[in-house]
Structure 1
Amino acid sequence: MTGPETIHASCVVVGEAGLLIRGPSGAGKSSLVREILFRAGRTGRFCRLVSDDRTRLAAQHGRLVASPVEPLSGCLEVRGVGIVRSPFEPAAVVRLVIDLSEDPERYPGDRDGRVELCGVMVPRLCGRAGASSADIAIARLSGVCDTVVTL
């Protein structure tokens, strides 16, 4: 098991599922976060920013947990406007990772469908930088839950 780490990524929670968005500067992470917040909110689903630009990841009880990095808590970049304040959650269990890149594989292999972060395997999607992926991300999160059995 590896320790906590801080990465260049954004995170949003939809329902109870955290969505971690990774990619290089200018790939559209903040724009995708805003689009997900808008679309999920329009359907009445709970959705909230967790972090933008820098995200702290840690493994906790076999789950990958994302949280904001101080002093960026509640800050969201809006290109052409600057940094705006936004309601945020202090943490989320990451259920899906979206990796944004300039040239993602057209037909990714099975091994591309998961990624290990902090020793925890998480489902993964690859998307094109700058493309609208909000509908795909929200649909993929539908029905994602954490089953806990108490004996």
Structure 2
Amino acid sequence: MTGPSLSSETLHVSCVAKDGRAILIAGRSGAGKSDLALRLIDRGAKLVSDDYTVLKRVDGRLVATPPRNIAGKMEVRGVGLIEFDAVGDVPVCLAVDLDRDVERLPEMHDPLVVAGVKVPVIGLSALEPSAPVKVELALAQFGLTVT
């Protein structure tokens, strides 16, 4: 999940925002990116983008926004394409990697680097019932702050 040092990139990640802080959700196709995003939305998060997210470096921070052609749309497996209120230009504060090994007692290391900006990343199993709560706890524990 490491990209070159560009001023913007489009990544195959879903993204939601919780309290003005964006959370990237990365993983292979079928790993549960959209499912986890949907459960976070059910807990009060806002959709930024489903499946692909535009990430820009702005004043040293990484900012997430949806690509125009999919803004406000989420594929809900078994239901179809659903419209949601979406937000954009949200500072990225945490990345969740659904392909990374889940550590019992994680230490923050090997950040995600996108457009030259480092973001804390955790490994998580998306389909566990507690996954949305774990994301919120990780955001509070490891996530970058917005000033």
Normalised to the residue count of structure 2, the TM-score between the two structures is: 0.85
Q: Deviations for 1:79-119, whole angstroms, at most 9, x for unmatched residues? A: 01111000000221100000002x6153556423x221110
Unpaired runs of 5+ residues, structure 1, are 42-46
Of the three residues 18, 30, 36, the one matched with 1:32 is: 36
Distance across 1 between alignment mates of 2:73 and 2:13? 13
Aligned to 1:106: 103
Is residue 70 of structure 2 the alignment partner of residue 72 of structure 1? Answer: yes
Residue-by-residue CA offset, 1:53-80 (whole Å, 9 max, x unaligned): 1111111101011110121000011101
Hey, what's the Cα distance between the residues in 2 that align with 1:90 and 1:33?
15
Q: Select which of 4, 7, 11 maps to 1:7.
A: 11
* Higher strand fraction (1 or 2): 1
| Aligned equivalents of 1:63, 1:106: Cα separation in 2 | 27
Q: Distance in 2 between matches of 1:111 and 1:71?
A: 34
Count of aligned pairs: 139
Matches within 5 A, 1:1-151: 1-39=5-43, 41=44, 47-101=45-99, 104-107=101-104, 110-112=108-110, 114-132=111-129, 133-142=131-140, 145-147=145-147
Over 3 Å counting, the alpha-carbon distance change for 1:78 and 1:137 in structure 2 is: same
- Cα distance 1:140–1:97, how it changes in 2: closer, same or farther (>3 A)? same
Alpha-carbon distance in 2 for matches of 1:141, 1:111: 15
1:44 paired residue number? none
Unaligned residue ranges in structure 2 (runs of 5+): none
CA distance in 2, matches of 1:77, 1:22: 15
**Superposition RMSD in Å:** 1.9
Shift of 1:50: 0.4
Given the two structures, how large is their TM-score scaled by the length of structure 1?
0.83
